Protein backbone atom coordinates (compact mmCIF):
# COMPACT_ATOMS: atom_id res chain seq x y z
CA UNK A 1 0.00 0.00 0.00
CA UNK A 2 2.70 2.43 0.99
CA UNK A 3 4.81 1.47 -2.02
CA UNK A 4 1.89 2.18 -4.38
CA UNK A 5 1.35 5.58 -2.75
CA UNK A 6 5.05 6.41 -3.14
CA UNK A 7 5.01 5.37 -6.81
CA UNK A 8 1.92 7.53 -7.45
CA UNK A 9 3.60 10.48 -5.73
CA UNK A 10 6.77 9.92 -7.76
CA UNK A 11 4.80 9.96 -11.03
CA UNK A 12 3.04 13.17 -9.95
CA UNK A 13 6.36 14.84 -9.14
CA UNK A 14 7.79 13.74 -12.50
CA UNK A 15 4.75 15.22 -14.25
CA UNK A 16 5.23 18.60 -12.58
CA UNK A 17 8.95 18.62 -13.38
CA UNK A 18 8.83 17.40 -16.98
CA UNK A 19 5.25 18.36 -18.01
CA UNK A 20 4.91 15.03 -19.81
CA UNK A 21 1.29 13.93 -19.85
CA UNK A 22 1.90 10.20 -19.51
CA UNK A 23 3.32 10.66 -15.99
CA UNK A 24 0.00 12.00 -14.74
CA UNK A 25 -1.79 9.10 -16.44
CA UNK A 26 0.53 6.62 -14.71
CA UNK A 27 -0.05 8.41 -11.41
CA UNK A 28 -3.83 8.22 -11.86
CA UNK A 29 -3.68 4.52 -12.76
CA UNK A 30 -1.59 3.82 -9.66
CA UNK A 31 -4.01 5.75 -7.42
CA UNK A 32 -7.01 3.94 -8.92
CA UNK A 33 -5.31 0.58 -8.33
CA UNK A 34 -4.51 1.61 -4.76
CA UNK A 35 -8.17 2.40 -4.03
CA UNK A 36 -9.35 -0.71 -5.85
CA UNK A 37 -7.21 -2.97 -3.65
CA UNK A 38 -8.61 -1.35 -0.48
CA UNK A 39 -12.30 -1.76 -1.29
CA UNK A 40 -13.93 -5.05 -0.34
CA UNK A 41 -15.58 -6.36 -3.47
CA UNK A 42 -16.88 -9.74 -2.37
CA UNK A 43 -20.37 -9.91 -0.96
CA UNK A 44 -22.04 -12.98 0.53
CA UNK A 45 -25.36 -13.72 2.17
CA UNK A 46 -25.55 -14.63 5.83
CA UNK A 47 -28.72 -16.37 7.05
CA UNK A 48 -30.59 -15.40 10.20
CA UNK A 49 -29.35 -16.49 13.64
CA UNK A 50 -25.64 -16.61 12.76
CA UNK A 51 -23.12 -15.70 15.47
CA UNK A 52 -20.50 -12.99 14.94
CA UNK A 53 -17.38 -13.53 17.04
CA UNK A 54 -14.72 -11.10 18.20
CA UNK A 55 -11.84 -13.42 17.22
CA UNK A 56 -11.54 -16.29 14.69
CA UNK A 57 -11.62 -19.11 17.22
CA UNK A 58 -14.17 -21.46 18.75
CA UNK A 59 -13.93 -20.04 22.29
CA UNK A 60 -14.24 -16.41 21.20
CA UNK A 61 -17.00 -14.20 22.58
CA UNK A 62 -20.14 -13.92 20.48
CA UNK A 63 -20.99 -10.22 20.39
CA UNK A 64 -23.77 -10.18 17.80
CA UNK A 65 -26.30 -12.59 16.32
CA UNK A 66 -28.06 -11.81 13.04
CA UNK A 67 -31.83 -11.50 13.35
CA UNK A 68 -32.55 -11.68 9.60
CA UNK A 69 -30.64 -12.67 6.45
CA UNK A 70 -28.01 -10.07 5.56
CA UNK A 71 -25.69 -9.29 2.66
CA UNK A 72 -22.19 -8.68 4.04
CA UNK A 73 -18.76 -7.73 2.67
CA UNK A 74 -15.88 -10.18 3.07
CA UNK A 75 -12.79 -8.49 4.48
CA UNK A 76 -10.47 -11.43 5.23
CA UNK A 77 -10.45 -15.22 5.29
CA UNK A 78 -8.63 -17.39 7.81
CA UNK A 79 -8.71 -21.17 8.21
CA UNK A 80 -12.29 -21.84 9.36
CA UNK A 81 -13.53 -18.26 9.74
CA UNK A 82 -14.26 -15.25 7.55
CA UNK A 83 -14.03 -11.63 8.69
CA UNK A 84 -17.10 -9.71 7.52
CA UNK A 85 -18.45 -6.16 7.56
CA UNK A 86 -22.16 -5.96 8.29
CA UNK A 87 -24.43 -3.23 6.85
CA UNK A 88 -24.53 -1.58 10.31
CA UNK A 89 -20.68 -1.29 10.16
CA UNK A 90 -20.01 -3.99 12.76
CA UNK A 91 -17.00 -6.19 11.98
CA UNK A 92 -16.71 -9.74 13.19
CA UNK A 93 -15.78 -13.31 12.36
CA UNK A 94 -18.26 -15.89 11.05
CA UNK A 95 -17.69 -19.61 10.60
CA UNK A 96 -17.23 -20.49 6.94
CA UNK A 97 -20.03 -23.06 7.00
CA UNK A 98 -22.50 -20.29 8.01
CA UNK A 99 -21.90 -18.30 4.79
CA UNK A 100 -24.10 -18.79 1.73
- Residue 92 is part of a domain; what is its CATH number? 2.30.30.40
What does the alpha-carbon distance between residue 52 and residue 32 come to, in Å, rounded to a whole number?
Answer: 32
What is the domain extent for residue 65?
A: 43-98
Per-residue DSSP letters for 39-61?
S---EEEE-SS-EEESSSSTTSP
Percent above pLDDT 70 for the chain? 98
Residue 37 confidence class, pLDDT cut points 50, 70, 90: confident
Mean pLDDT of 39-61: 89
Neighbours of 34 (CB within 10 A): 16
**Is residue 83's pLDDT more than 80?**
yes
Instruction: State pLDDT tens for residues 51-65.
Output: 999 999 999 999 999
Are residues 47 and 80 located together in one domain of the fold? yes
What does the alpha-carbon distance between residue 95 and residue 93 come to, in Å, rounded to a whole number?
Answer: 7
Are residues 52 and 83 located together in one domain of the fold? yes
What does the alpha-carbon distance between residue 92 and residue 15 come to, in Å, rounded to a whole number?
Answer: 43
Contact 51, 61 (CB under 8 A): no
The pLDDT value recorded for residue 42 is 85
DSSP structure class, residue 9? H
Amino acid sequence: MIALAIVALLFAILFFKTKKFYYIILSAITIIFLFYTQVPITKVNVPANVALRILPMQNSTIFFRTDKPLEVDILLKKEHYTKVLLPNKKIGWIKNEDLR
